[in-house]
Amino acid sequence: MSAAEKLDPSEDENAEKAKQLPEPKGYKILIAMPGAEEMTEGGIIKAAVTRQLEEVGAMYGMVLKLGPDAYADKKRFPNGPYCKEGELILMRSYSGTRFKIHGKEFRLINDDSVEAVIDDPRGLEKI
């Protein structure tokens, strides 16, 4: 399963859960975070604490919703928005307000926390 597939909720299974997602206000952006892999590439099962640390320190996610004021300030963002809904973005590790809904992690980040838009997060490592 690819990282993008992990971020994309199944419509049948998660339609009701999606209604529980908060509506970002102001300049905030709602981000869906990837789940941590349960095994290493070599087949070793990761400890729960290791998976939790990977989730907390994740540096990419999928943009679900933009707040009404996100990227509205033309002085700060003269070239327009850094991202749009549905894109995978690279952001600062540990940024934003972290929360879980039904075991899935989400974040509310500031519009200026987006560092880049990425096509494929595979192979991406924090150093």
In the chain the domains, ranked by start, together with CATH numbers, are: 33-118 (2.30.33.40)
Buried b (16+ CB within 10 A) or exposed e, 23-59: ebeebbbbbbbbbbeeeeeeeeeeeeeeeeeeeeebb
Higher pLDDT, 52 or 122: 122
The predicted-structure confidence for 17-58, as pLDDT tens digits, reads as follows 667 899 999 999 999 998 666 666 787 775 666 556 556 557
What is the distance between the alpha carbons of residues 111 and 76, in angstroms, rounded to a whole number? 10
The predicted-structure confidence for 64-80, as pLDDT tens digits, reads as follows 999 999 999 999 999 99
For residues 110, 114, 120, 121, the Cα torsion angle rounded to the nearest 10 degrees is -70
